[in-house]
Amino acid sequence: MRPFTYERATSAEDALNRHDGDAYYLGGGTNLVDLMRLGVETPARIVDVAHLPYDQVQLNPDGGVLIGAAVTNSALAADRTVREGHPMLAQAVLAGASGQIRNMATVGGNLLQRTRCSYFQDIAKPCNKRDPGSGCPAIEGEHHNLAILGHSQACVATHPSDMAVALAALDALVHIRGRAGARVVPIEDFYRLPDDAPERDTVLDPGDLITAVEVPLLGMPSRYRKVRERASFAFALVSIAASLDVVGGLVRDVRLALGGVAHRPWRARRAEEALRGAPATPDAFRAAADAELAEAEPLRDNAYKVPLARNLIVQTLTELEETS
C-alpha cells in the first residue's frame, strides 16, 4: 500500500477546498479501494464525501425526484417513490453488485465506476485508459464482453454501471459543484465516448463534486432487464432500460438505453425515433432495434451482442406493450 492522506469533508465547500486537483473523492469505496489494492489508482489524498448531507431522496413538485449523491444503492432501490415512479431505476440498482456492496456504494460513486476490462485492472499490461498512449491489447485480445458501439482505436471498454443505464433512459440530470460554482449536466452529456482520450470517462473537471442526480417524472411503465453470465454478481453482457407509452396501438413515447455495449450508457435515440408514432408491434420493435444497431461494429469475439441487444429490445418492449 502506498501512503495517502484521508480527510473527511464536512460540507461541499469544504470538500472543494480540500481537493488539490489530484485528490480522489471517496464514496462507498467499493470500486476505488479495489483499484487502489490493484495499484490501478494511486491517490496521494482522499477526501471522504460519503458523509455529506446528500443522503436523501426528495420528491420534487413536478413529480420527479432529487437523489442525493451520498444515498446508498440499497436505500435508493428501497425508496418507495423511486420504486413506484421509476421502477426501472430500482430494478437497475438491484441488478448490480451484491447486497453487501449495495449497502456501501453511493449514487455518486456508482456513476463514476471504472470499466472492468481485464487489461485496465492489470498494471503489468498496457491500457490506454489507465496509461494513455500505452496501447489497447483488448482489441486483438480478450474482448468478448467489451463494446460494440461507439468505441475507438484507443479503447473498446464498456461502462459497468446498471444504475447509469436507467438514468440515461430517464433523462437524468447530474448536479455538480465545481470551482466555478454549481452546474447541471444531462447524463448523456456527462459520459464521454473514448475517442482518443479514453482516460476520461466523464466531462467532470478536477475537483468537481457530484451532489445529486435529478430524475424527471416518467409517467409511463418501465423496466430494466440485464443479461449476464450468472444470475447474480456479474456485469452485464447487454442490459436494457426501457419505457413505453402506447395509445391506440401506436407508440406515443418510448425510452431506450443499453448497457454493456459502449463506453457509456447507450441511449438508443435512433430506435426511439423510429418507434414514435409507429405501431407497437414486435415487427416495429425489431425494425427500430435494427436501426439502432446498424452502426454497431462488433469485435472478433463479441458479435453475439448485436442479436442479443436486438432480441432484448424486442423482448422488453413486447413485455411492456403486453402489460401496458
Partner 1 sequence: MTERLESREKVTGAARYAFEYPVENVAYAAAVQASVGRGEVLSVDIEAAQRLPGVLAVLSHENAPRVDSEPDGELALFQSRTVSYRGQFVAAVIGETLETAREAARLVRVEYAAEDPDVRLRTDHPGLYKPDKVNPVFPADTELGEPEAAFTDSAVRVDVTYTTPAEHNNPMEPHTTLALWDKDGSLLLYDSTQGASSVQSTIAKVFGLDPTQVRVIAPHVGGGFGSKGSPRPNVVLAAMGARVTGRPVKFAVPRQQMFATTGYRTPTVQRFRLGADPDGRLNAILHDVFEQTSTVREFAEQTATPTRTMYQAPNRRTSHRLVALDVPTPSWMRAPGETPGMYALESVMDELAVVTGVDPVELRVRNDTDREPESGLPFSSRNLVACLQEGADRFGWAGRDPAPGVRREGRRLVGTGVAASTYPAYMQPGRAIARAEPDGTFTVRIAAADIGTGARTALTLIAAETLKEDIDRVTVEIGDSAFPRASVAGGSSGTASWGTAVVRACESLRGRLNGEVPPEGLEASADTSAEVKNRDEYARHAFGAQFAEVEVDADTAEICVRRMLGVFAVGRVLNPMTARSQFIGGMTMGIGMALMEESVMDGEFGDYLNRDLAQYHVPSCADVRDVDAFWVEESDPHLNPMGSKGIGEIGIVGAAAAVGNAVHHATGVRVRDLPITPARLLPHL
- Which residues contact partner 1 (rule: CB under 8 A)? 1-2, 38-39, 116, 118-119, 122, 124-125, 137, 140-142, 144, 227, 229-234, 237, 301-304, 307-308, 311-312, 314-315
For residue 91, which of 224, 220, 265 has the smallest C-alpha distance?
Answer: 224
Cβ neighbors of 155 (< 8 A, separation 6 or more) are: 128, 129, 136, 194, 198, 263
The residue among 45 and 228 lying less far from partner 1, judged by its C-beta, is 228
The residue among 38 and 247 lying less far from partner 1, judged by its C-beta, is 38
The residue among 106 and 316 lying less far from partner 1, judged by its C-beta, is 316
CB of 315 to partner 1, least distance (A): 5
| 106, 161 Cβ separation under 8 angstroms | no
Sheet holding 5-8, edge to edge: 5-8, 45-48, 24-26
CB of 292 to partner 1, least distance (A): 16
> Using CA atoms, how far apart are residues 133 and 321, in angstroms rounded to an integer?
47
The residue among 39 and 178 lying less far from partner 1, judged by its C-beta, is 39
The gap between the terminal CA atoms of the chain, to the nearest Å, is 54
Residue with cell 472543494: 16
The residue among 215 and 309 lying less far from partner 1, judged by its C-beta, is 309
The residue among 59 and 303 lying less far from partner 1, judged by its C-beta, is 303
CB of 282 to partner 1, least distance (A): 11
The residue among 62 and 322 lying less far from partner 1, judged by its C-beta, is 322
CB of 305 to partner 1, least distance (A): 8
With b for 16 or more beta-carbon neighbours within 10 A and e for fewer, the 73-111 pattern comes to bbbbbebebbeebbbbbbbbbbbbbeeebbebbbbbbbb
The residue among 6 and 233 lying less far from partner 1, judged by its C-beta, is 233
Residue 64 has, within 13 A of its CA and on its CB side, a CA count of: 14
List, as one string, the DSSP characters of 211-241.
Answer: EEEEE----S-EEEEEE-SSSSS---SEEEE
Cell of 244: 413505453
The residue among 187 and 314 lying less far from partner 1, judged by its C-beta, is 314
For residue 164, which of 264, 38, 65, 56 has the smallest C-alpha distance?
Answer: 264
CB of 129 to partner 1, least distance (A): 16
Question: H or E segment at 213?
Answer: strand 209-215
**Between vectors from CA 161 to CA 9 and to CA 295, what angle results, nearest 5°?**
135
Cell of 65: 425526484
> Using CA atoms, how far apart are residues 285 and 147, in angstroms rounded to an integer?
22
